[in-house]
Amino acid sequence: MKTRLLSAASLLALITSPTLAESFNRIASFPVVANMAEGEDKARTSSAEIISVSEDGNTLIYTDSPLGGVGLIDITDAAAPKALGNIDLKGEPTTAHIIAGKAFVGVNTSESRANPSGRLAVIDLASATEVESCDLGGQPDSVAVAPDGSFLAVAVENERDEEAGDGGLPQMPAGYVVKLPLDEGNLDCAGLQKIDLTGLAAVGAEDPEPEFVDVNAAGEIVVTLQENNHIVVIGADGAVAAHFPAGAVVLEGVDTRTDGRLDFTAATDPIPREPDAVKWLDADHFATANEGDWKGGSRGFTIWNKDGTVVFESGAALEHAIAEIGHYPEKRSKAKGIEPEGMEFARFGEVPYLFILSERGSVVAAYDVTDLTAPKLVQLLPSGISPEGAVAIPARNLLVTANEADLGEDGAARAHVMIYQLSDAAPAYPMLTSAGTEDLIGWGALGALASVEGVEGRLFAASDSVYGAMPSIYEIDITQTPARIVAQTVVTRGGEPAQKLDIEGLTSDGEGGFWLANEGDAAKLVPHAILHVDAKGEIKKEISLPIDLLAQQTRFGAEGIARVGDRLWVAMQREWGDDPKGQVKLLSYDLESEEWGAVAWPLEPKGEGWIGLSELAVKGDHLYVVERDNLIGDAAVVKKVFRVKLEDLTPAKLGETLPVVAKEEVLDLIPALKSLTNGYVVDKVEGLAFDHEGNAWIVTDNDGTDDSSGETLFWNAGQL
């Protein structure tokens, strides 16, 4: 196995570096739905977008535009955050800051994009009431506080209508920046200064759309004009001191096609950076997160001198590191990839940290920017879905992120606020990485896990239909921490990547190849089947399920496979048409006689969602089965491992009354799912395998970050 030479951004060297004395680990996950009042409809969409903290570091405030207000969280005990409720603002809040017991909130009240309006609201937190406001004359976006507390800077974006025309500029009215004086925490509306930005950018000069602002210690304001691909520096006197185009980047080694495969071999034409968040790093330098908008998005971040000189450009390095930990959003390949959007900067002790938030990868990247010309990626932190805002609290060694996506209406994850602590504990995440291979291996959606007889220190995993154009088997070195994907074998048919596969089960054939369980979908003409592949991944045999059984099929079929001698056992995920309620089949296929049979598996009591089987594995004289519901977070009830004696598995012929097996519960997985990274309980526990020492290994399926936080949990659960 060759080893790829590591770039400065490669995670491999950094997560094993003996000089990394401290690391960030998540210590709490707060679902923002917890801030809804008793009796309120908690199925309503809520969100956590831009987040800030009180001066004493004990109270968080975040904007929640779907609910039209701000939420408050008590983090006096950061590991056990407490809900303080929501405050209704009768509009769309965009940014909030707490100063001397008051919250200063930008509120968008626009009736239309052609007629924007908004205010800077002042809320007394003790009474939870709005006590003052300043009319901003347009739609506010970002709000920043001067380090000395002397003023607020507001980006009044007056955003365009993306559905109008080609969605581009100009679309009047123009945006601008507002400077609002503060006197010991009191707002001076009469001193409001409107700073004109028209005529500066080469793109849409008459229609600037300021996106994000930040203020340095000298009182200088930096503002990004995202759609205009321009950056402006405003002096302490309120006049434009410098401005320059954000420019474009040519990316090498990126995936530019949304095609069900991970292929990091393309190069791009120059892509406009179109920066979103911006943060000062010192008196003369700032960084931008280059999310992109209507024309661009360079998938990384840039460090600038305030005269417009580029000091550092990340290029595709961050995207590569995110792909190595399984968080690359393949469905965004033809657009803006990982989409860095939010950003935070703070000094923890002697180390200046720059935090980059990947909206689509659902990752927080922590960089040591001691050397601004060569930032060092020190960690990638697991986040909720779509991190939008972040706030650092160095005095308490804390970092907090707000994650805007709320998928609750689909039974999926809710929006969360995540809290991380810097300590001398080892990094808990990632648990699995492909860093260090000669060629970049992108991966994700691991729906199956297996061991191979006689192969010590290795397990094998397979990806499911998320990467249907490159179905793959991955070799994992479990002797390292984190475990490492060291090789990838693409499953082929006739020498070409096999199409329309949904590999949900994997077991060794004892001869260097594997048997695969393929979950079918009649609507997509994909058969429920078991496949035999050789050591090179070539499909040598395909065995469809019996015709009579297929007459009863549903979408949810083969979900696990295990070999016992000359017999294959296949777990069916959910009930088919001929199954008694609350039972599913364990199918049996005799490789010698080619006969099918089955036994019935009794499912646990069903909660709000559905329940089914996810995986099979054999150890000693038992067959082990993963059974799970499809629920997330506090709603999750069943994520368990059961076992049954092999001698009790006597299959009946299909069509006959099936014997019901007597199962024994051996492990409840929910405690580990909560504690391993202190996140919410994820849905899909889909892999189980035993190593050569008999330890059980578990892996979760991250759905390739599609409506998922992207987190893959992979751990040694010990002897069962």
Chosen domain end from 397, 430, 463 = 430
Residue type (1 letter), 316: A
Question: Per-residue pLDDT for 165 more than 60?
Answer: yes
Distances (CA, A) of 483 to 3, 294, 436, 462: 16, 39, 12, 15
Instruction: Give the confidence band of 229 by pLDDT, cuts at 50, 70, 90.
Output: very high
| Confidence (pLDDT) at 401 | 98
Q: What is the average pLDDT across 572-579?
A: 95
Instruction: Give the confidence band of 664 by pLDDT, cuts at 50, 70, 90.
Output: very high
Q: What is the average pLDDT across 639-667?
A: 97
Question: Per-residue pLDDT for 14 more than 50?
Answer: no
User: Could you tell me the two tokens for 110?
Assistant: 């626009």
Distance, first Cα to last Cα, the chain: 33
Report helix, strand or coil for 23. Answer: strand
Question: Per-residue pLDDT for 16 more than 50?
Answer: no
Range with the poorest average pLDDT among 160-164, 564-568, 697-701: 160-164
Tell me: do 493 and 380 sit in the same domain: no
Question: Per-residue pLDDT for 606 more than 50?
Answer: yes
Tell me: do 421 and 441 sit in the same domain: no
Tell me: do 403 and 520 sit in the same domain: no
H or E element: which one contains 318? helix 317-324
CATH at 237: 2.130.10.10
Number of domains in the chain: 2
Range with the poorest average pLDDT among 39-43, 73-77, 269-273, 382-386: 39-43
Report which DSSP code applies to 426: P
Tell me: do 316 and 456 sit in the same domain: no
CA distance 436 to 630: 34
| Confidence (pLDDT) at 166 | 74
Question: Per-residue pLDDT for 704 more than 70?
Answer: yes
Q: Are 664 and 644 in contact (CB under 8 A)?
A: yes
pLDDT digits (tens, 9 = 90+) for 240-277: 999 999 999 999 999 999 999 999 999 999 999 999 99
CA distance 652 to 613: 20
Question: Per-residue pLDDT for 13 more than 50?
Answer: no
Question: Per-residue pLDDT for 7 more than 50?
Answer: no
Tell me: do 453 and 321 sit in the same domain: no
Whether residue 209 is contained in a domain is answered as yes
Whether residue 446 is contained in a domain is answered as yes
Radius of gyration of the chain (CA): 27
Chosen domain end from 430, 447, 473 = 430
Chosen domain end from 399, 430, 461 = 430
Whole-number mean pLDDT of the chain?
Answer: 94
Instruction: Give the confidence band of 1 by pLDDT, cuts at 50, 70, 90.
Output: very low
Question: Per-residue pLDDT for 167 more than 90?
Answer: no
Of the candidates 322, 217, 214, the one whose C-alpha atom is nearest the C-alpha of residue 277 is 214
| Confidence (pLDDT) at 42 | 85
Contacts of 205 (CB under 8 A, 6+ apart): 198, 199, 228
| Confidence (pLDDT) at 8 | 34
370: left (phi over 0), alpha (psi -120 to 50) or beta: alpha
DSSP output for 56-102:
TS-EEEEEETTTTEEEEEE-SSTTS-EEEEEEE-SSEEEEEEEETTE
Q: Which residue has the higher pLDDT, 15 or 355?
A: 355
Whether residue 3 is contained in a domain is answered as no
Q: Where are the beta strands (DSSP E) in 567-606?
A: 567-572, 583-590, 596-602
Tell me: do 232 and 353 sit in the same domain: yes
Whether residue 319 is contained in a domain is answered as yes
Tell me: do 438 and 327 sit in the same domain: no
Question: Per-residue pLDDT for 164 more than 80?
Answer: no
Tell me: do 497 and 637 sit in the same domain: yes
Handedness of CA 77, 80, 85, 91 (dihedral sign): positive
CA distance 255 to 186: 50
Question: Per-residue pLDDT for 11 more than 60?
Answer: no
Q: Which residue has the higher pLDDT, 524 or 240?
A: 240
Q: What is the average pLDDT across 593-605?
A: 97
Instruction: Give the confidence band of 410 by pLDDT, cuts at 50, 70, 90.
Output: low
Q: Are strands 446-450 and 432-433 parallel, antiparallel or unpaired?
A: unpaired
pLDDT digits (tens, 9 = 90+) for 188-219: 999 999 999 999 999 999 999 999 999 999 99
Whether residue 5 is contained in a domain is answered as no
| Confidence (pLDDT) at 411 | 57
| Confidence (pLDDT) at 302 | 98
| Residue-number span of the structural domain to which 112 is assigned | 11-430
Whether residue 1 is contained in a domain is answered as no
Tell me: do 635 and 519 sit in the same domain: yes
Question: Per-residue pLDDT for 15 more than 60?
Answer: no
| Confidence (pLDDT) at 521 | 84
